[in-house]
Amino acid sequence: MKATLDQIVAEARELFRERGYAGASMQDLADRVGLKKPSLYTRFPNKESLVPEVLALTLDETFADLHEESCEWTVEYEAIIRRIATTLSDRQRCIGLHLAYGVSEDTPLAATAVRGYFAALRDRIANVLARGVEANRAEDLATDALVRLEGATLWIITSGDVRPMERAVSSLIDEAKRLAH
């Protein structure tokens, strides 16, 4: 199988997304990537160290091919909101939210990574909004947009219903267009 680091991290992400931090085991991960448990520990010192890697990979993928400053800001805003919403709907649940709820003082490096993950998402959205509104307001609007999308995953999990996510996306985009006028 010859699993690469990125493949292991991607599998770890799946595992964390499905079972959460506490519910995911190194044995499960080893099985999924076709390695024995001790071989995992040659690449990662412990389970907690997987969390920053998982979130960094996810950030990279989320921002891939999203060109900044290349068009009107409302178009770019719509693109990033839809990118996040589509990813959440496809995967059913948010790895970041699951980890945010799952890590604690016992896992400080993981907790720091989660904070950084959401701050990065917010900042990226805020940067787009700042082209149309004042900076402080852009940050608040970005935060509110993000938590709305995240909240909508709750309904996907509990009932499989993606319409709250779709309504959140529509509402956010409409609000942005209203701000632009």
Partner DNA sequence: GTCTATAGAAAGATAGAC
Partner DNA sequence: GTCTATCTTTCTATAGAC
- Contact positions toward a copy of itself, by CB under 8 A? 18-23, 93, 97-98, 100-102, 104, 114-115, 118-119, 140, 143-144, 146-152, 154-155, 157-159, 161, 163-164, 167-168
Give the dihedral sign, CA 134/137/143/147. negative
Q: Closer to DNA by CB, 18 or 48: give it.
A: 48
Write b or e for each residue in 140-178: b if 16 or more Cβ atoms lie within 10 A of its Cβ, otherwise e.
ebbbebbebbbebbeebeeeeebebbeebbeebbeebee
CA–CA separation, 146 vs 84, rounded Å? 9
With a CB cutoff of 8 Å and minimum separation 6, the contacts of 41 are 26
Q: Which is nearer to a copy of itself, 86 or 112 (CB)?
A: 112
Shortest distance, position 160 Cβ to a copy of itself, whole Å: 10
The single residue listed with the structure tokens 């199988």 is 1
Residue 100 Cβ vs DNA, minimum distance, rounded to whole Å: 18
- By the 8 A CB rule, do 12 and 50 touch? yes
26 touches, from DNA, a copy of itself, none (C-beta below 5 to 8 Å by class):
DNA
Cβ closest to a copy of itself, residue 7 vs residue 89: 89
Residue 118 CB, shortest distance to DNA, in Å, is 24
In the complex, least distance from residue 45 CB atom to DNA, rounded to whole angstroms: 6
The secondary structure of residue 140, as a DSSP letter, is H
The option from a copy of itself, DNA, none interacting with 124 (CB < 5 to 8 A, set by class) reads none
Query: What residue ranges bind DNA (CB under 7 A)?
Result: 2, 24-28, 35-39, 41-43, 45-48
Beta carbons within 8 Å of 141's beta carbon, 6+ residues apart: 126, 129, 133
Residue (42 or 70) nearer to DNA, CB? 42
What does DSSP assign to residue 45?
A: S
Q: Indicate which of a copy of itself, DNA, none lies near residue 2 (CB less than 5 to 8 Å, by partner kind).
A: DNA
